Amino acid sequence: MDDLIIYQNDLVKIEIEKHEIPWLKIFTQKDIKEFSSCDTKTKNEIWRCLDIIEKEMIDYFQADKINIASFGNYCPHVHFHIQARFKEDSYFPEPTWGVKQRDAKLELKDFLPFYSNVVSKLS
């Protein structure tokens, strides 16, 4: 198993995006290009994971905002990015793909317990 994958089942896998902010990505296990092509079971699993991750990011990190995105232009495979955003992060209020606004001055809790909490709630 890739060390960036923290959870997987037959429908989805969840990966860590290494960054200054908490950032997870949910991918479908099957190679599916568009969300609308997913079956209902897969869609429901994605929403279940998104809900758990978002709530845990809010509770654990006290994030100012949670960003959820699904672009897939470079990676045409159904996936969602979930990011905990903070007014002091390097890009806020811009997207993390945008123009850097400052050098971050973040004092965040350790990410490892957050990952453990997410996995526990997903299992």
E strands of the chain, at which residues? 5-8, 12-16, 23-28, 65-69, 79-85
Q: What is the CATH number of the domain that holds 83?
A: 3.30.428.10
pLDDT reported for residue 69? 95
pLDDT reported for residue 104? 93
When pLDDT is cut at 50, 70 and 90, the band that residue 3 belongs to is low
DSSP 107: -
Instruction: Record the pTM.
Output: 0.93
Residues 6+ apart with CB under 8 A from 17: 23, 24, 25, 81
**What's the domain range around 21?**
5-122
Share of the chain above pLDDT 70, in %: 98
Task: Tell me: pLDDT of 1 over 50.
Answer: no
Number of domain units in the chain: 1
pLDDT digits over 41-95, tens only? Answer: 999 999 999 999 999 999 999 999 999 999 877 777 899 999 999 999 999 999 9
